[in-house]
């Protein structure tokens, strides 16, 4: 091969790589812009931050205030401990296995299901990047949005815990950086798993309404029922170990989050932390793969 021919081949290869990279970056930029302009992003983000503040800290503080200081001193001390800044990171993380997971599933459904509602899939997939690029870009943009939700909720938790410490006259002790990072990472990871399930449901059900109904019935109804029955019927324990909710609760429990108080509903060490991570990772991969497969094979006309 001559030098000129070799140079031409290299130029074509570099051009093709550059074109593919540009296509991927364009798909991601389009998804970020789309999420930013749709009201679902700020509504779900603000709604989740409010839920963490109210149910993770506000309601437990009201309970703390109503307990008898003389006869229930131990209960008051234990409840106050999880509301102070030193435990704010794990208390906030304790809100995710049940309430946060459902919110992130709703967000995932809206990311893909809204395209059916507004009938924009055909235009998106015929005038821009390919189907695989669009789905992956949706997953990446959604994961970035979830991380923003998690960080915002953690900041709000720290602020509220500081207020509680000031009101109760307690010294402010900050959580360790390693613990804070681990809590944010665990919350973001399990939230992305729930969001990925929502992505798949939005595509499977071809819309928002049915996907939300199926997702919430599955996570808040069926999973809770199976989790409860597994405590009575040992044969169901292997099934419980691969469910999204118990895996999320197990991951948060591995941080040291208590299972009661501070919004820790659904927090329990059903499986070890590494097993929980493997289960959640499987949900992320399965959710994206299902959405990608169905979008690639279906006729959207």
User: Taking Cα atoms as reference points, which of 239, 186, 194, 188 lies closest to residue 212?
Assistant: 194
Residue 243 CB partners (closer than 8 Å, separation 6+): 223, 226, 227
Q: What percent of the chain lies above the pLDDT cut of 90? A: 61
d(CA 172, CA 87): 11
What is the mean predicted confidence (pLDDT) over 80-105? 93
- pLDDT tops 90 at residue 158: yes
Burial class (CB in 10 A: 0-12, 13-18, 19+), 157: buried
What is the mean predicted confidence (pLDDT) over 245-255? 93
Residue 224 confidence (pLDDT)? 86
Return mean pLDDT, the chain. Answer: 88
Q: Which residue has the tokens 């208590």?
A: 258
What is the mean predicted confidence (pLDDT) over 266-275? 90
pLDDT digit string, tens, across residues 279-294: 999 999 999 999 999 9
- pLDDT tops 50 at residue 263: no
- pLDDT tops 90 at residue 106: yes
Burial class (CB in 10 A: 0-12, 13-18, 19+), 206: middle
Q: Crossing angle of helices 101-117/177-204, nearest 10°? A: 40
Per-residue confidence band for 298, with pLDDT thresholds at 50, 70 and 90: confident
For residues 53 and 159, is the Cβ–Cβ distance under 8 A?
no
pLDDT digit string, tens, across residues 182-236: 999 999 999 999 999 999 999 999 999 999 999 989 888 888 888 889 889 999 8
């Amino acid at each position: 091969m001559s030098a000129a021919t070799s140079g031409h081949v290299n130029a074509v290869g570099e051009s093709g790589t550059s074109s593919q990279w540009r296509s991927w970056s364009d798909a991601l930029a389009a998804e970020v812009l789309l999420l930013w302009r749709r009201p679902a992003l700020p509504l779900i983000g603000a709604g989740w931050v409010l839920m963490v503040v109210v149910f993770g800290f506000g309601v437990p503080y009201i309970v703390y205030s109503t307990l008898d200081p003389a006869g229930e001193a131990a209960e008051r001390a234990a409840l106050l401990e999880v509301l102070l800044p030193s435990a704010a990171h794990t208390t906030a993380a304790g809100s995710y296995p049940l309430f946060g997971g459902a919110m992130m599933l709703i967000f995932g459904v809206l990311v893909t299901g809204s395209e059916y509602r507004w009938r924009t899939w055909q235009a998106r997939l015929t005038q821009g990047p390919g189907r695989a690029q669009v789905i992956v870009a949706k997953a990446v943009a959604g994961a970035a949005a979830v991380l923003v939700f998690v960080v915002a909720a953690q900041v709000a938790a720290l602020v509220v815990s500081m207020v509680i410490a000031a009101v109760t006259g307690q010294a402010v002790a900050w959580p360790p950086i390693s613990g804070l990072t681990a809590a944010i990472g665990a919350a973001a990871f399990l939230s992305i798993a729930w969001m990925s399930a929502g992505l798949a449901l939005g595509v499977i059900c071809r819309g928002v309404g049915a996907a939300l109904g199926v997702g919430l019935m599955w996570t808040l109804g069926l999973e809770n029922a199976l989790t409860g029955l597994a405590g009575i019927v040992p044969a169901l324990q292997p099934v419980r170990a691969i469910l999204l909710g118990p895996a999320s609760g197990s991951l948060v429990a591995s941080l040291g989050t208590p299972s009661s108080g501070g919004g820790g509903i659904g927090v329990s060490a059903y499986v070890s932390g590494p097993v929980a991570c493997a289960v959640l990772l499987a949900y992320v991969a399965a959710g994206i793969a299902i959405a990608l497969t169905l979008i690639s094979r279906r006729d959207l006309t």
